[in-house]
Chains A and B, each alone.
Chain A
Amino acid sequence: MSEKYTKFTVNLKGYSVEEREAIALKIIDKIIQRTKSGKDKDNKTFPKYATGPDKGKTPNLTLTGDMLDLLSVVRNASAKVQIGYSSETTDDETLGKVEGNVRGTYGQPTPIKGGKYARNFLGITESDLQKILKEFPKGSDESQSRAEKTILLRKNAEKLSGSVELEDLDE
C-alpha cells in the first residue's frame, strides 16, 4: 500500500503547534461528517453502488464505522499537518480499505473502470478549510485560546472514556 493514498497534507504556516493540532481535529470532524453524508473530498456525491443488495444507493463508507473513526492527525510539524492513517499504527486491513476507496481499486491491482467508482474522502476543499480557519484568526490570542481549549476538551474526553469498562471474560 502506498502512503500517498492514505494521507494528505494541509499547509498551516503561521500557526502554533497547538493551533495546527486543533485545526486538524476540526478538519477530521468535517471529513467524517461529510463522508457520512455521502460526499467526497470535493463535496461531490460518491458514485452509487453498481451491484449487490445496495445497488443504486449512495455509499457513506460506514459499515462498522472503523475506517472513519481511525482517521487521525498523523504528523504535526514544520508548519504543516498530515491527516490520514499512519502505516505504523493502523492495521493493514484498514489501510487497504482506505486505498481501495481513494483509488477505486477495491482489492484489485488497478482502479476499476479507470477509477469510476473511487470514493476519495481524504481531503478538504479550500472553501471548507477557510470556514474552519475563520475560527482561528492567525496571530490572535483568540486563536491560541481556542486551540488550547480544543485540545483540553479532547484530553478530558479521552480520560473520561476510561470510565467505560468491559468485563474481562477470561476471569
Chain B
Amino acid sequence: MSRHSEDLKKFQKDVQEAVSILSEPSYLSALGKTVLERVINRTRLGRGVRERGGASGPLKSLSSSYKEQRKKLKQKGELSGLTTPGKSNLTQTGKLLDSADVTSVKRGSVTLGFRGNHDPGLTNETLAGYVSKDRPFFNLSQAEEKALTREIENELQKLLNVL
C-alpha cells in the first residue's frame, strides 16, 4: 500500500472516531438547539420553509381583520415585542415559538419539536401543526442545511486536531 493510501486510511479511521464522538446525545442535543435557534429566528423574521432542503420565503400575509385584532392586542400590551400588528411571523404572545425544543435525543439522532401546552387543552405541538398548514415553517431550508453541515465540519475538524 502506498504511503498516500495508508495516510488516507488512517484519516478515515480518525474521521469515523470523530463522527462517533459527535453522534453522542450530549453533542447532538447542543447541535439541535443551535439549529432550533436559527429556525425560530428565521420564522420570527417572517420567513417560512415548505419542505426540508427548500428555499425560505415570506410567510403568508395576515388578513386585514386579524391585523386589526393584533392592533388592539398591542394597545392592551398583549402583543409580543418581537412582532408588529401587520407582521406575519407566527408570533402573537411568543409562546408557540418559545416552546420549540429538543424533544428526543439518542445516539445518532436528535429530534426537534414543541413542548407543553399553549392553552388548556391545546398543546403547542398541535397549534404548530395547525399554523403550519397555511404557513409552513418547521423545516430546514437548503441554506440552513448547508450551515448545519458547515457547523458539523468545524466540530469534526476540531476533534481531528486533537485525535
* Residue positions of A touching B, CB distance < 8 A: 29, 63-67, 69-70, 72, 91, 93-94, 141, 144-145, 148-149, 152-154, 156-161, 163-167, 169-171
Contact = CB atoms under 8 A, between A and B. Distances in A.
Contact of B143 (A69, A148, A149): A69
Given A145-B4, A148-B8, A149-B8, A69 B125 contact: no
Nearest to B128: A169
A63 B112 contact: no
Contacts of A154: 149, 153
Interface residues on B, range: 35 or more
Interface of B: 3-4, 7-8, 11-12, 15, 19, 22-23, 28, 31-32, 35, 38-39, 41-42, 45, 47, 52, 55-57, 103, 108-114, 125, 128-129, 132, 138-150, 152-153, 156-157, 160
B79 to A, nearest CB: 20
Nearest to A159: B19
B147 A65 contact: yes
Contacts of B8: 145, 148-149, 152
B55 A161 contact: no
A169 B146 contact: no
Please indicate which of the listed interface residues B42, B143, B148 has the most CB atoms of chain A within 10 Å of its own CB: B143
B153 A166 contact: no
A70 B125 contact: no
Contacts, number: 112
A170 B129 contact: yes
B137 to A, nearest CB: 9
A53 B52 CA distance: 33
Contacts of A167: 103, 111-114, 125, 138
A168 to B, nearest CB: 9
A171 B126 CA distance: 10
B147 A157 contact: no
